[in-house]
Amino acid sequence: MLVLYGRSAEISALDEVITRACDGFGGAVVLRGEAGAGKTALLDAAAARGGAMRVLRTTGVESESDLAFAALHQVLWPVAGLLDTLPEPQRDAVRAALGLAAGSAGDRFLVGAGVLSLLAEAAALDGLICVVDDFQWVDRASADALLFAARRLGTERIAMLLAVRGGAPVKGVPLTVDVRGLPESAAAELLESRHGTLPAPVKRELTTLTGANPLALGEIAARLTPAQLAGRDPLPDPLPGGARLFGDRVTGLSAPARLAALVAAVEADLGLVLRATDRLFAEQPVRPGANTARSASTGPGMEAGAGRVALAELEDTGLAEVSGTSVRFRHPLIRSAIHEAAAPADIRRAHAVLAELTAGDRRAWHLAGAALGQVEQVAVALVAAAERARDRGGYGDAASALARAAELTPEPRARAVRLKDAAVAAWLGGRPGQAESLLAEARERADGDATLAMEIARLRGRFELNSGNAAEAVRILAAGGSLEMLADAVEAASYVGDTAAIAELGRRAVAHPEGFLRDTVAGIGLTLDGDAAGPGLLRRALARVDELEDATGYLWATAAASALGESDLATEMAERAGRVARVSGMTGQLPVVLEFVATAERIAGRLARSQAVSEEGLALAREAGYENTVAAHLANLAVLAALRGEEESCERQAREALAIAIPHRVGLRAGMAAYALALLDLCLGRYVAARDRFTAIAAAGSGAGHPTVVWRTGPDRVEAAVGAGDEAGARAALVAYERGAAHAATPESRALLARCRGLADSSEDAFGEALRLHTNPFEAARTALLLGERLRRAQRPGEARAHLRMAWETFERAGARPWARRAQDELRAAGESGQAPPTAVLDTLTPQELRIAGLVADGLSSKQIAAQLFLSPRTVEYHLYKIYPKLGISSRTDLARLVVLQKAPVAEDDML
């Protein structure tokens, strides 16, 4: 029976996580502490206390830390039979990752979602405890997938327990239990359990000198003489062992056992350890006169079975054990001691022999371990290993393999290419810092090769656009001559808000052959520049949307439709981009796509859906390291908070967005965050403050503000100026908005312009025209509120009430509480009793539940919904189980009917 001393607090924390998981509130916890602190013992104890809960377990192995999905394969193999229950995209991704099927795993987010779903299926009966020890050595692909799942366990019956050496936090797992030295009383109890009664001064001194580390206490006390333990002789100074607790035990092994230990330190597979040890022992020269000693030390038959005898000795010493088909060291420091005791040439020889006995990725890494200097043949093997890892979604491990391949590559250009490819893999693996370092080295080595230099420049520009300075991205990308780089430059310039650059780049794109991308890029630039040829190019591009297959194409179609003022088509294209991105494995670009989807939902007045999309996008952007996309989702969340009148949230999220967007020169997102603060003032009736903020937005230059934000917020600016009594300011804002809307032809654009005229000119006819033209119910409600207020104050309450009631009901349904209160107050002042409008039953749902309800209404199954939202099918069913009683229904058919009845028309203006 495992006995733990002084760990009641740690066990209690783990018990709480496990208990909550049993109740359907899953979560993850990290045990963090130095080597020997007792993390593994705590994991063992926790797993044993889970009762009937299933336990899946893996341990990070340093020698396997570069093998993509090695740890994931170990933890999921017992439940691989459940893979067929997963949504098809997730199933295929996990199968490819585990090497169970040919093909590509695609996006690492798909792999992570598949792991979550598989763990949820395994937990269905009695719950699940997923234990990962030595997490610091888990390969990157496995770590990414496990952490993706760990951050999404809230509705699953899963407890994930991770143990990591050192003090660094595990990204995305906020609950951490620090495992420090034992309390003095527990340390004394541990010593006496092994060595009997000891004098108090001896116990105190040992506890102090070892920091009460359980491993150090046990190992060092075992090296003391009986007289020292009894206090008759003083304790040695320094204590035996010290930082290298296992060094003397390693050097005390026989030569064959040291050989077996060395092989096991670089390869954990039992069969390989035995065969490699046999071969290495057979190669050792026998010195004259050494035969007798050799036979005496190794025993009969040692030459024929050296590995087994040596391994038996290794187990007898307690340094290692055979676990299944693997050789495991009792503690990670043993492996370190073995490496320190071995000569570099011996380590290389062990790798060389193992390379002869292995294939695939293992062979490639053993060849790299055996290499001395630069060897192209070994580099080629590592490149092949990287390609296999990349195909399975293991981008971080692919980056490691390619970086090592570059080190081994003798030819300068080939080395630069491999560094460039490593940078791409690191970027797609969510490690932008490593990617930028690798790309910088590739750039240094690409001198004289214009084609390669241009490829590297494009990557530099894309990296800057996603996580760095968007204005610098424009400069880098605009220097390229290819259509693809021009398109990237236009995208970057649109984020900065540099319309002059967009126009110039569009004219350069005209020289390229006709095609969807060329017509879109050239059309946007020419349209912004006032060239009559621009709209024709955009319409020609949009005529080809049925040929599009990827999310990137649909985003360009969104931009083309927006440039034409066709907001309904722009919204449709953004929604298509979102649907395709979720299931196509577009290597991490989903967070960017969700920027546009979330904005469309907000502008349509579907605030809860927009909130859910942005929260998802924000989490994914942070995982991917896309800082500028983080700013985008924060800014959208700030606007939503403003519409709900949540001051603290709005101000906090806007500040966070501005802290990224302004230094990164992302004017589109800086302008959006500033708009959130101005809109908050407007919603709360602080008209002077709102006017001043809108004026500042209009005056901000590119990189801090954005022309699109200025134009789209024109109606709000007019309203703020009128509310502040600033007639001149209102008139100036109207003129600016009319100028920007000169080419807009959609009904909603004309409706907003009419509302602005109604405000500035106090014209009821203009308000009436706006109400007739509106296709966006949320904007129609704003117009109705403004008109109702004017009618009520003109002593025409009967005419006002219908407009005010419509506005109140719409704002209540959307969750725009400040405007709902304002409409309610006006309605009461107009003589209505103030009875609450009919409740929209869908308003009782959370944002996530609302999204699931909408997908059910679209006819999607639970598996299809799970694939769309990166959830497990059981999580979808869990949400449906909560949705039905909230709405008083009992079936998907009833839910679909309710959604259709209450779903607002989808007709948005252009997206900010």
Query: pLDDT value at position 909?
Result: 36
Q: Within this chain, do residues 323 and 271 fall inside the same structural domain, yes or no? A: yes
Query: What sections of 713-844 are H helices per DSSP?
Result: 714-723, 727-740, 747-761, 764-773, 777-793, 797-814, 817-829
Are the CB atoms for 639 and 478 separated by under 8 Å? no
**Letter for the amino acid at 717?**
R
User: Residues 38-49, buried b or exposed e (16+ Cβ, 10 A)?
Assistant: bbbbbbbbbbee
For position 235, what pLDDT does the model report? 80
How many Å apart are CA 567 and CA 561, to the nearest integer? 7
* C-alpha separations of 575 from 514, 560, 596, 618, 867 in Å: 26, 15, 8, 18, 16
Residue 452 lies in a domain: no
Domain presence at residue 83: yes
Q: Measured in whole angstroms, how far is the alpha carbon of residue 396 from the centre of its chain?
A: 13
| pTM passes above 0.85 | no
pLDDT at 725: 94
- Which pLDDT does position 290 carry in this prediction? 41
Q: How many domains does the chain have?
A: 6
pLDDT at residue 106 in the model? 62
With a CB cutoff of 8 Å and minimum separation 6, the contacts of 112 are: 144, 145, 147, 148, 149, 870
Neighbours of 498 (CB within 10 A): 26
Residue 137 shares a structural domain with residue 222: no
Instruction: Report d(CA 638, CA 644) in Å as an integer.
Output: 10
- Look at residue 89 in the predicted model and tell me its pLDDT: 86
121 within a domain of the structure (yes/no):
yes
E strand or H helix at 47: helix 39-48
Backbone angles phi, psi at 467, to 5 degrees: -135, 0
Which among 836, 835, 870 has a CA at the least distance from the CA of 851?
A: 870
Per-residue pLDDT at 101: 79
Which domain does 615 fall in, by range? 588-698
Q: What count of other Cβ atoms lies within 10 Å of the Cβ of residue 835?
A: 8
Within a domain: residue 727?
no
Q: Which structure tokens are listed for 434?
A: 């490593």
Q: Is 723 helix (H, G, I), strand (E, B) or coil?
A: helix
Question: Which residue intervals of 284-343 are DSSP H helices?
Answer: 291-298, 306-316, 332-341
Q: Residues with Cβ < 8 Å from 60, sequence gap 6 or more?
A: 71, 132, 133, 134, 135, 136, 137, 138, 139
pLDDT, residue 723, reads 94
Residue 460 within any structural domain of the chain:
no
- Say whether both 86 and 131 belong to one domain: yes
Q: Are 113 and 871 in contact (CB under 8 A)?
A: yes
User: Is 232 found in the same domain as 158?
Assistant: no
Pick from 412, 427, 442: which residue ends a domain? 412
Q: Per the domain annotation, does 86 fall within a domain? A: yes
Do 403 and 479 share a structural domain? no
Residue 788: other Cβ atoms inside 10 A: 27
Are residues 257 and 321 located together in one domain of the fold? yes
Are 194 and 149 in the same domain?
A: no
Claim to verify: residue 133 and residue 191 sit in the same structural domain: no
Cα distances (Å, whole numbers) of residue 854 to 45, 607, 617, 851, 885: 44, 14, 18, 5, 17
CATH number of the domain that residue 616 is part of: 1.25.40.10
User: Cβ(482)–Cβ(455) under 8 Å?
Assistant: no
Q: CB–CB of 24/157 below 8 Å?
A: yes
Instruction: Looking at the structure, tell me whether residues 84 and 104 fall in a common domain.
Output: yes
Closest listed residue to residue 789, CA positions, set 810, 807, 811: 807
Give pLDDT tens digits for 331-360: 777 887 888 889 999 999 999 999 999 999
- Assign residue 877 the CATH number of its domain: 1.10.10.10
SS3 443: helix
- Domain annotation covers residue 681: yes
Residue numbers of the chain with a pLDDT score lower than 70: 1-3, 103-106, 167-168, 237-238, 241-244, 285-304, 565, 567-568, 583-588, 743, 833-841, 843, 901-912
| Nearest by Cα to 273 from 331, 329, 340, 316 | 329
Q: What letter represents residue 501's amino acid?
A: A
The answer to whether residue 216 is domain-embedded is yes
Mark whether 518 and 643 lie in a shared domain: no
330 lies in the same domain as 237: no
CATH of the domain at 126: 3.40.50.300
The conformation of residue 237, written as its DSSP 8-state character, comes to: S
Query: What is the C-alpha separation between 54 and 843, in angstroms, rounded?
Result: 38
Nearest by Cα to 690 from 828, 823, 499, 818: 818
| CB atoms near residue 451 (< 10 Å) | 8
Question: 270, 295 in Cβ contact below 8 A?
Answer: no
Structure tokens at 702: 């590119």
Helices 8-22 and 39-48, axial angle in degrees (round to 10): 40
Sole residue written with tokens 């020269």: 285
pLDDT of residue 103: 65
Token couple for 594: 């969700």
Q: Tell me, yes or no, whether 496 and 595 share the same domain.
A: no
